[in-house]
């Protein structure tokens, strides 16, 4: 069963997202704090297929957070193995979306 790491500080959103992911037979681990997710990704014994980062909060430094998560994967495996998906229930600017994509992650608006 594919493993997904959901990084989401919004408990209600995380619960809804977990329900959808588990409905599709995905195993989901949830981290409310990005620092905890970085620690998990640094452990080479845990392999995630996908890391989903909820970037809805417009006040947080998402580009730095995404870079730290990607770096943690690279440090533990030598290459960034999981796919990264940034999702947002807040409409973001095209510049924000493009910057996320240029960092190697996918972006999706949940509108």
* pLDDT tens readout for residues 78-92: 665 799 999 999 999
pLDDT of residue 57: 95
108: how many CB neighbours lie within 10 A of its CB? 13
Is residue 106 scored above 80 in pLDDT? yes
d(CA 41, CA 92): 27
At 12 the pLDDT is 95
Beta carbons of 8 and 14 less than 8 angstroms apart: yes
Rounded to two decimals, what is the model's pTM? 0.92
What Rg do the C-alpha atoms of the chain give, in angstroms?
13
- Going across the sheet that includes 3-7, the strands are 27-31, 3-7, 50-54, 83-88, 106-109
pLDDT in tens, 20-71: 999 999 999 999 999 999 999 988 667 899 999 999 999 999 999 999 999 9
């Amino acid at each position: 069963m594919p493993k997904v790491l959901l990084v989401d500080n919004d408990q209600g959103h995380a619960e809804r997202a977990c329900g959808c992911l588990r409905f599709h037979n995905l195993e989901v681990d949830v981290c409310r704090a990005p620092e905890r997710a970085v620690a998990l990704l640094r452990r080479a014994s845990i392999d995630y297929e996908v890391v989903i980062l909820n970037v809805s909060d417009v006040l947080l430094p998402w580009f730095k957070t995404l870079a730290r998560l990607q770096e943690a994967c690279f440090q533990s495996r030598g290459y960034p193995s999981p796919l990264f998906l940034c999702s947002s229930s807040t409409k973001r600017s095209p510049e924000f979306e493009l910057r996320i994509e240029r960092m190697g992650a996918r972006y999706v608006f949940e509108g």
